[in-house]
Amino acid sequence: MAWTHALATAAPLPPVVPVEGGAAGAAWLLVALPALGALVLFVGGRRTDRWGHLLGVGTVVAAFVYGVVLFLGTVALPAEEQVRDLPLYDWIAVASLNVELGLRLDPLSLSFVLLITGVGSLIHIYSVGYMSHDPNRRKFFAQLNLFVAAMLVLVLGNGFVTLYLGWEGVGLASYLLIGFYTQRRSAGSAAKKAFLMNRVGDVGLAIAIFILFLELGTTQYADVFARAGEISPGALTAITLLLLLGACGKSGQFPLQAWLPDAMEGPTPVSALIHAATMVTAGVYLIARSNPLYDLAPIGQLVVTIVGAITLLIGAIIGCAYDDIKKVLAYSTVSQIGYMMLAVGLGPVGYAAALAHLFTHGFFKAGLFLGAGSVMHGMADETDMRRYGGLWRHMPVTFWTFTLGYLALIGFPFLSGYFTKDLIIEAALTAGPVAGWLLGGAALLAAGLTAFYMTRLMLMTFFGEERWRDLRPRRVDPADLEDPPEHYHPHESAASMTVPMILLAIGSVGAGAFLVLGERLADFLEPSIGPTVEPYDVPAVFYVGLVPYLATALMLVGAGIAYLVVGRRTVPVERPQRVSLPVRAARADLYANTINESVIARPGLWLSRALVYVDNRGVDGAVNGIAALLGGTSGRLRRSQTGFVRTYALTILGGSVVLVAALLTVGGFPG
Amino acid sequence: MSAVLLVLLLLPLVGAAVVGAMARREDLDRAAKILGLALSAVSLVLVIVLWAGFRTGPGTPRFQAELSVAWIPAFGTRFALGLDGIALTMIALLAVLVPIVLWFAWAEKLPAGRTGAGFTALMLSTQGVLVGVFAATDVFLFYVLFEAMLIPMYFLIGRFGGPRRQYAAVKFFLYSFLGGLIMLASVIGLFVASDTRLGEGTFDWAALQGMAAQLPLSTQIPLFLGFFAAFAIKAPLVPFHTWLPDAGAEAPIAGGVILLGLLDKVGTFGFLRYNLPLFPAASRELAPLLLTLAVIGVVYGSLLAAVQTDMKRFVAYTSIAHFGFIALGIFAFSSQSIAGSALYMVNHGISTAMLFLVVGLLIRRGGTASMTEYGGVGRVAPLLAGMFLIAGLSTIALPGTNSFISEFLVLLGAFPREPVFSVIATVGIVFAALYMLWVFQRVMTGPLRGSAVVGDGPGAASAAVMTSASDGDADDPSARNLTARFGDLTRGEVAVLTPLVALILVLGFFPGPVLEVLEPAVSATMAEVGVVDPVTPNGVAR
């Protein structure tokens, strides 16, 4: 088993040193800047309409600049001083419990800071153009700023409770932004669903925190990780599984994946930032952060890899069946986070691979979503790819940037995804004799599926006939307000939108090589996640050097099949109804919603209704009955209040007499 | 300090008498209301003085601002007051909420023939009596005030409430009175026992505590149950809860805030002050049973809240769930869980007050508490919807709001000793999200719909449900008309809610000052019950 030999090589993490002045002393500004932006926009309301978006962009860009300063400052430190702690104040202190609010500045958290504020800045800038016609743009920026602040708390927190603060904070921001188009009923349902499924995960995270408190009496990272060895093995397994539950909720992993595709109800920049690049990767962050716990809990790690493998397959299979461009990308996200989850469950052989994929995915998936948004912007908010076609000549910048993101995602040689996905597949092959085949096989198979569904998406959107020519745009939602235009007028988007797309495309091309070649990222993250084990150095089910060739071959097969099935035929505008069973299953999200509905939602509703009956007839009925017995008929209970109060006064008097009499006479109560 | 406490108790009562006398003259109505507000503001200042003078830290006495005068020497009862941290926070909450509800009630429409002055008088007398209930250190005095507290609330519901107010008021009264009578038996029992054991009968809390804790378990249990009956009804715990949804639904908003936010806390306060310290052996013996009731309350209250269609009943059921959390913390016997429960009492008061007030503001516009008559309110009244959301997020204990701290402390503190109960209650946080977000979705989001929103003004029964797509954008003239008619929050209404929003956020990030005040009382209670915090498996004492 990979984790057993990996365990032997895991070295203790460097000690945590306190921050002493300098640029890092004010690291709380990272959070405070976007939080302040959100506060001003929420409280200022409509008065800030004219400049609110600028404040939103400005605070996040400022946080990014400061993040770069902190990052460079950390790189310059010797490795054993790179994990730093900035305590702010005692947040919840009762008896022996002391939950401290503070920041942990280390390579892992600062990498995330750059991702969140960097991609966040680009998406904020993009949103200025994308949301320019929305009367509630200011509110949008307020909520987006709130998200950035909460996400920074999540990754910068120096303990599990601080993490929980950010964790539920991003859940709130996600809830608000999914439901941003409040007039749509579907948006409200999707937002609620997302929050609820996240809260199921949060229960896991909360109980994991309780067990940590029980075992160690503390929930701060520094203490927990230093004393991880004191936790009993059973408790460690429980903690790791419960943390995984939390991760599944936040990251849309099996069995809590069903909310993420619905979350596409939110504006597209939200899908790019929250539901592709940052928030949904928080589960991977959580497990990578808790690596000292997982390294000691082989069962926990095994389950993480299984969840990852199942999810990456589910996402890839369903992604093949959808016609809605955002939903395909959403399931692609589910699948890609499955890859990260798989890798992060493999221990030291996979941590760096998972995080490398997380960062490159952040670039190319955000770029793909922004591209999809640009397409929608030019196509009257239409998301059905069957109504697209031949768009490449109408929106060239969108097309080319999207193509680079597409190639990066399917693992086209030497683009970002090629390096990082291969790392994960290689690591999976070292998982042991049986697990290596199963996990590695799943990861390889999904690589082919990824190429299929993404090529299908490309072909349906940018190539083929211009199917929109003969169609009239339709209202996206029955409750939408503006009448759609007479015709589709696909056009390139404004510079505020295309420039972020171009920058993300550059990242899609180069980030993988930059992070992976020379083990740059792995070396940098070593103080946080320990030394990385090379897949080449440990036994694998077959020679890992074959992986790049195999993955590339499978990618070509997947893309080729897509070309044969979609590219060479005319795409029907109406969705074909008579399809094979697997396609029907995939269209129905592999029945995840049906299962949730029939196992949880409907029985829950029945139970609640039954309880209402019990409450009215049983509990209350019994009480009313007794009251009627005591006070005569229930009709007499409702006698006029003056009469009643007179009775009451008499009762009090009578009671007092009895009381005094009792006090004066009774003497022999058993004492 | 004891003089301040005495004034804090008497001032509202005297004020109530004056305001009540002014209620007879219609031309004095406005003056009476102003006087009431001014008096409640003075109470707030007095509480701030008390808080500032309250000493914490090791070595400080549990009860401060003490005062004791002979009252009925025949059976040794004294008029004795004193504050520990728990009582102080409850009185502080009271002093914060009363001016807010009086201010809120200023613009409320009253039932025919009722005056604002009359309302104010009842509110002030409730305040005065409640100060006494929390501050009493004589068990007999506590009992008298506990019963007396029913009277103004009975009139608040019965005179100023909704259409079924008579039924609700009588039901409230009967439940509470019955519980009180059972408690009375225990009070007498305590007195008699003290007579036998100490040589002279007393009602002094401290003396009784030292004596009663020595009683054999067989004696403690019936006495415990007597107090428990009164408090479990008051709190209320399932299955003693059914008066609350009726009372909450029929009470006027301002009265409901005091009922749900404070009056009910007397129940959990009673557990902490009377059940645990006076009957430690019985508390430990019966804890499993009470914990069971507590977690049933969490799940039961949440599920029932989820399917309510009346907003006021909805708030009442959420409170039942929250009282489950509070009881869980109390009977889990750890420093964190008990401190969490005591803090929960404050936080629940704040968030429920806010939620109930927002519901009241909604009813003020729509004319009905029925959720089905509303829809898409956020489009015409975004501020109102935002305030509802803040109250809701506090209710579901989102981190960053006040309630998170207390719920976290209760669950975390309960876990080491009572993992099963703690885990079940933790699952309750999903139910909480369900009921709150579902209501928010039905009432606040989606297209404009419902007769209360798009009908003919407040209370319009015409079911002119708008389903056509062209309705309501912020820039759409028809939506603007609706906004103007339905109306978002006014400046004054925002001002009523602002202190509560501030408390929700400030206590969410800086609970320290309140926890510090609570801690001495909590550790004293732990010592009286005779429990210590569990030790970690690794032998590290926490």
* Residue of A264, A308, A271 lying closest to A440 (CA atoms): A308
> pLDDT tens-digit profile of A421-459?
999 999 999 988 899 999 999 999 999 999 999 999 999
Which residue in chain B has the smallest CA separation from A172? B398
Residue A645 corresponds to which tokens in the numbers above?
A: 């109060």
Report, as an integer, the average pLDDT of A410-414. 91
CA distances from B98 to A479, B117, B254 (A): 43, 15, 9
Residues in chain A within 8 Å Cβ distance of B335: 94-97
* Residue of A641, A309, A277 lying closest to A442 (CA atoms): A309
β-strands B77-83, A17-18 pairing: unpaired
B118, B123, B127, B132 alpha-carbon torsion, rounded to 10°: 60
> Which of A41-50, A111-120, A125-134, A623-632 shows the lowest mean pLDDT across its residues?
A623-632
Q: Nearest Cβ partner of B415 from A185, A214, A481?
A: A214
Are the beta carbons of B336 and A175 separated by less than 8 Å? no
For helices B217-234 and B280-306, angle between their N-to-C axes, nearest 10 degrees: 30
pLDDT at B354: 96
Residues in chain B within 8 Å Cβ distance of A607: 303
Distance CA B152, CA B16 (A): 11
Report, as an integer, the average pLDDT of A121-148. 92
pLDDT at A657: 55
Neighbours of A603 (CB within 10 A): 11
Residues in chain B within 8 Å Cβ distance of A101: 509
Residue A33 corresponds to which tokens in the numbers above?
A: 């800047």
What average pLDDT does chain A have? 86
Are the beta carbons of B306 and A608 separated by less than 8 Å? yes
Q: What is the largest CA-CA distance in chain A?
A: 104
> Which of A110-119, A473-482, A491-500 shows the lowest mean pLDDT across its residues?
A473-482
Report, as an integer, the average pLDDT of A474-495. 75
pLDDT at B538: 56
- The yes-or-no verdict on residue A368 having pLDDT over 80 is yes
Residues in chain B within 8 Å Cβ distance of A202: 429
Residues in chain A within 8 Å Cβ distance of B447: 183, 185, 479
Are the beta carbons of A90 and B193 separated by less than 8 Å? no
pLDDT at A7: 45
Q: What is the DSSP string of B157-175?
A: HHHHS-TTHHHHHHHHHHH
Q: Nearest Cβ partner of A172 from B158, B393, B475?
A: B393
pLDDT at A659: 53
> pLDDT tens-digit profile of B196-226?
888 888 899 999 998 888 888 988 999 999 9
Residues in chain B within 8 Å Cβ distance of A196: 430, 433-434, 437
* Residue of A376, A372, A294, A377 lying closest to A333 (CA atoms): A372
Residue with tokens 């099949």: A561
- The yes-or-no verdict on residue A626 having pLDDT over 70 is no
- The yes-or-no verdict on residue A21 having pLDDT over 80 is no
Residues in chain A within 8 Å Cβ distance of B405: 92
> Which of A273-282, A590-599, A614-623, B436-445 shows the lowest mean pLDDT across its residues?
A614-623
Q: What's the gap in Å between the CA of A171 and the closest CA on chain B?
A: 10
Kindly state the helix (H) or strand (E) to which residue A93 belongs, with its residue range.
Answer: strand A84-94
Q: What's the gap in Å between the CA of B461 and the closest CA on chain A?
A: 24
Distance CA B499, CA B97 (A): 10
Q: What is the largest CA-CA distance in chain B?
A: 83
Give the SS3 label for residue B79.
Answer: strand
Residues in chain B within 8 Å Cβ distance of A191: 437, 441
Q: Nearest Cβ partner of A619 from B242, B340, B538?
A: B242
pLDDT at A607: 80
Q: What's the gap in Å between the CA of A552 and the closest CA on chain B?
A: 44
Are the beta carbons of A182 and B536 separated by less than 8 Å? no
Distance CA A114, CA B510 (A): 29
Residue A558 corresponds to which tokens in the numbers above?
A: 């997947």
Cβ atoms B338, B525 nearer than 8 A: yes
Cβ atoms A145, A35 nearer than 8 A: yes
CA distances from A207 to A97, A235, A289, B423 (A): 16, 11, 18, 7
Residue B29 corresponds to which tokens in the numbers above?
A: 């109505």
Per-residue pLDDT tens listing for chain B (542 residues): 889 999 999 999 999 999 888 888 888 888 888 999 999 999 999 999 999 999 887 778 889 988 999 888 877 889 999 999 999 999 999 999 999 999 998 888 888 778 888 899 999 999 999 999 999 999 999 999 999 998 899 889 888 888 888 888 888 888 888 888 889 999 999 998 888 888 888 899 999 998 888 888 988 999 999 999 999 999 888 888 888 888 888 989 998 999 999 999 999 999 999 999 999 999 999 999 999 999 999 999 999 998 889 999 999 999 999 999 999 999 999 999 999 999 999 999 999 999 999 999 999 888 888 898 888 898 889 999 999 999 999 999 999 999 999 999 999 999 999 999 999 999 999 999 999 999 999 999 888 888 888 765 544 433 333 333 334 344 444 555 666 678 888 888 999 999 999 999 999 999 999 999 999 999 999 999 988 888 765 545 44
Are the beta carbons of A206 and B411 separated by less than 8 Å? yes
A157 DSSP β-pair partners: A103
Give the SS3 label for residue A466.
Answer: coil
Cβ atoms B103, B528 nearer than 8 A: no
Q: What's the gap in Å between the CA of A584 and the closest CA on chain B?
A: 30
pLDDT at B361: 93
CA distances from A601 to A101, A577, A593, B408 (A): 37, 28, 10, 27
Residues in chain A within 8 Å Cβ distance of B383: 45
**φ, ψ for residue B82, nearest 5 deg:** 180, 155
Cβ atoms B517, B507 nearer than 8 A: no
A533 Cα distance to chain centroid = 27
pLDDT at A397: 93
Neighbours of A597 (CB within 10 A): 13
A85 DSSP β-pair partners: A18, A104
Are the beta carbons of A207 and B426 separated by less than 8 Å? yes
Q: What's the sign of the alpha-carbon dihedral A328, A334, A337, A342? A: negative
Bigger pLDDT: B257 or A671? Answer: B257
Which residue in chain B has the smallest CA separation from A181? B446
Which residue in chain A has the smallest CA separation from B340? A94
Burial letters B250-269, b for 16+ CB under 10 A, else e: bbbbbbbbbbbbbbbbbbbb
ω before A255 within 30° of 0 (cis)?
A: yes
Residue B418 corresponds to which tokens in the numbers above?
A: 């009572």
pLDDT band at A6 (very low <50, low <70, confident <90, very high): very low
Q: Nearest Cβ partner of B445 from A179, A607, A615?
A: A179
pLDDT at A375: 93
Which residue in chain B has the smallest CA separation from A630? B174
3-class SS letters over B64-116: EEEEEEEEEHHHCEEEEEEECHHHHHHHHHHHHHHHHHHHHHCCCCCCCCCCH
Q: Nearest Cβ partner of A196 from B300, B433, B515?
A: B433
β-strands A97-105, A17-18 pairing: unpaired
Distance CA A545, CA B236 (A): 68
Q: What's the gap in Å between the CA of B35 and the closest CA on chain A?
A: 28
pLDDT at B282: 93
> pLDDT tens-digit profile of B402-442?
999 999 999 999 999 999 999 999 999 999 999 999 999 99
Cβ atoms A508, A371 nearer than 8 A: no
CA-atom Rg of chain B in angstroms: 23
Q: What's the gap in Å between the CA of A484 and the closest CA on chain B?
A: 12
β-strands B64-72, A17-18 pairing: unpaired
Q: What's the gap in Å between the CA of A597 and the closest CA on chain B?
A: 14
Neighbours of B318 (CB within 10 A): 28
Q: Nearest Cβ partner of A182 from B169, B379, B541?
A: B379
CA distances from A312 to A2, A256, A275, A317, A544 (A): 20, 13, 16, 9, 20
Residue with tokens 């504020």: A117
pLDDT at A122: 94
Q: What's the gap in Å between the CA of A326 and the closest CA on chain B?
A: 22
* Residue of A202, A226, A440 lying closest to A312 (CA atoms): A440
Q: Nearest Cβ partner of B536 from A216, A475, A481?
A: A216
Are the beta carbons of B242 and A671 separated by less than 8 Å? no
Cβ atoms B203, B192 nearer than 8 A: no
Are the beta carbons of B335 and A96 separated by less than 8 Å? yes
Distance CA A616, CA A637 (A): 18
Length of chain B: 542
Are the beta carbons of A214 and B416 separated by less than 8 Å? yes
Q: What's the gap in Å between the CA of A225 and the closest CA on chain B?
A: 15
**Ramachandran category for residue A582: left, alpha or beta (phi over 0 → left; psi -120 to 50 → alpha):** alpha
Strand segments (E) across B323-461? none
pLDDT at A477: 63
Q: What's the gap in Å between the CA of A284 and the closest CA on chain B?
A: 21
Are the beta carbons of A200 and B475 separated by less than 8 Å? no
Are the beta carbons of A188 and B540 separated by less than 8 Å? no
**φ, ψ for residue B375, nearest 5 deg:** 180, 135
- pTM for this entry: 0.91
Residue A307 corresponds to which tokens in the numbers above?
A: 């969840």
Q: What's the gap in Å between the CA of A338 and the closest CA on chain B?
A: 25
Cβ atoms A30, A62 nearer than 8 A: no
Q: Nearest Cβ partner of B379 from A183, A627, A671?
A: A183
Distance CA B11, CA B32 (A): 15
Query: Which ranges of A411-519 would DSSP assign to H, the alpha helix?
Result: 416-429, 433-462, 495-516
Bigger pLDDT: A2 or A509? Answer: A509
User: For chain A, which residues make up each domain, given as ranges?
Assistant: 153-384+394-580, 588-637, 639-671
Residues in chain A within 8 Å Cβ distance of B423: 207
Sheet holding A97-105, edge to edge: A17-18, A84-94, A97-105
- The yes-or-no verdict on residue A256 having pLDDT over 60 is yes
* Residue of B267, B248, B270 lying closest to B257 (CA atoms): B248
Are the beta carbons of A135 and B474 separated by less than 8 Å? yes
ipTM of this predicted complex?
0.92
Distance CA B542, CA B538 (A): 11
Distance CA B339, CA B329 (A): 8
| Cα angle, residue B367 at apex, residues B362 and B368 outer, rounded to 5° | 85
Residues in chain B within 8 Å Cβ distance of A667: 192, 195-196
Are the beta carbons of B412 and A91 separated by less than 8 Å? no
Which residue in chain B has the smallest CA separation from A649? B151
Q: Nearest Cβ partner of B307 from A161, A612, A641?
A: A612
Residues in chain A within 8 Å Cβ distance of B427: 203
Residues in chain B within 8 Å Cβ distance of A666: 188, 192
Residue with tokens 């009630």: B105
Residues in chain B within 8 Å Cβ distance of A627: 171, 174
Q: What's the gap in Å between the CA of B437 and the closest CA on chain A?
A: 6
Residues in chain B within 8 Å Cβ distance of A203: 426-427, 429-430
CA distances from A268 to A401, B37, B447 (A): 16, 50, 21
Contacts of B77 by beta carbon, 8 Å cutoff, 6+ apart: B71, B138, B140, B141, B203
